[in-house]
Structure formats: C-alpha cells, structure tokens
C-alpha cells in the first residue's frame, strides 16, 4: 500500500468509506481489482499474482 500512498488513498480509489476496510484486507478483493489497477497504474498481475500470471512478451530482439 505504501507504493500507492497508503490505505486512505486505496480506499478512496475503491470508493470505500473508510481506510480501515483496506487495512483489514489480506489481499485486494477481486471486485476492486480492476478499479485499483486503473487508479494506481499497477498491473493486476502485481496486485493479485495468485489470480493472474505475469504477461509474457513475445517480442524478439533484432539479431
């Protein structure tokens, strides 16, 4: 949460009334995941790696 500015900012971004709700999370609830991804710029793969695998780049370097 430090990366995005704390529990209060996460709560505001998720549309929650209180930051204490966020403090009780062990993980971000999936219903808030896309909203928080958009608000923070942190990819869903980082927010919930248990649900999303890291994206693999298929680009190849020039030889």
**What is the largest distance, in Å, between two alpha-carbon atoms of the chain?**
54
| CA atoms within a 13 Å half-sphere pointing along the CA-CB vector of 2 | 0
Q: Specify the pTM.
A: 0.75
Task: Give pLDDT tens digits along the chain (63 positions).
Answer: 778 789 999 999 999 999 999 999 999 999 999 999 999 999 999 999 999 987 776 666 555
């Amino acid at each position: 949460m430090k990366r995005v500015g704390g529990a209060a900012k996460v709560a505001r971004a998720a549309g929650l009334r209180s930051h204490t709700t966020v403090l009780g999370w062990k993980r971000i609830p999936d219903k808030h995941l896309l909203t928080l991804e958009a608000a923070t710029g942190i990819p869903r793969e980082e927010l919930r790696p248990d649900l999303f695998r890291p994206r693999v780049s298929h680009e190849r370097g020039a030889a």
